[in-house]
C-alpha cells in the first residue's frame, strides 16, 4: 500500500471516530416503571392456586394482603377488591430534533366474592 492510500484510510478512520463520538451523546432513552401501593399485580401462578368453593378468605388475605376495598351485598356475600397499577414513563431523544415522551398506566383489578368465609367466585379486569 502506498502512502496516499494509507493517508486516505487514516483519514476515513479518523472521520468515523469523530462522527462516532459526536453522535454518541445525541441519542438518549430511558424508561421508568412504578407500581402503586399494592406493588405488582398478582401473577397467574398465584391465581391458579385459588379454588372456587375451597379457598378460604384467610388464605386469600394471607397471600394477597388487605384488599383495596371491601363491600357486602344485602345477601351477606363479601366482595374484596384489589387494585394494582403500573405506570411506565418512557422518553427517547435523538439529535435535539426528535423527542418522544410516552406515559402509560396499566390497571388490574381483581374481585373476589366470599360466602361463609370461602371464595365462591373471582374475576379480573384489565385496563
82 in any annotated domain: yes
Enter the C-alpha cell of residue 100: 418522544
Strand, coil or helix: 26:
coil
Q: Is the pLDDT of residue 4 over 90?
A: no
Enter the C-alpha cell of residue 113: 366474592
116 in any annotated domain: yes
Domain count, the chain: 1
Q: Is the pLDDT of residue 95 over 70?
A: no
The whole-number pLDDT of residue 16 equals 63
16 in any annotated domain: no
Question: Cβ neighbours of residue 40 under 8 Å, at least 6 residues apart?
Answer: 84, 86
Give me the chain's average pLDDT, please: 85
pTM over 0.75: no
User: 115 is in which domain, residue-wise?
Assistant: 30-126
13 in any annotated domain: no
86 in any annotated domain: yes
Amino acid at each position: 500500500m502506498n502512502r496516499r492510500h494509507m493517508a486516505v484510510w487514516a483519514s476515513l478512520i479518523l472521520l468515523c471516530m469523530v462522527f462516532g463520538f459526536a453522535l454518541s451523546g445525541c441519542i438518549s432513552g430511558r424508561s421508568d416503571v412504578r407500581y402503586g401501593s399494592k406493588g405488582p399485580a398478582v401473577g397467574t401462578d398465584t391465581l391458579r392456586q385459588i379454588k372456587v368453593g375451597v379457598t378460604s378468605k384467610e388464605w386469600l388475605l394471607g397471600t394477597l394482603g388487605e384488599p383495596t376495598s371491601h363491600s357486602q351485598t344485602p345477601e351477606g356475600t363479601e366482595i374484596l377488591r384489589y387494585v394494582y397499577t403500573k405506570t411506565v414513563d418512557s422518553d427517547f431523544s435523538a439529535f435535539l430534533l426528535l423527542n418522544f415522551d410516552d406515559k402509560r398506566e396499566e390497571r388490574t383489578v381483581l374481585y373476589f366474592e366470599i360466602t361463609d368465609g370461602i371464595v365462591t367466585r373471582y374475576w379480573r379486569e384489565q385496563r
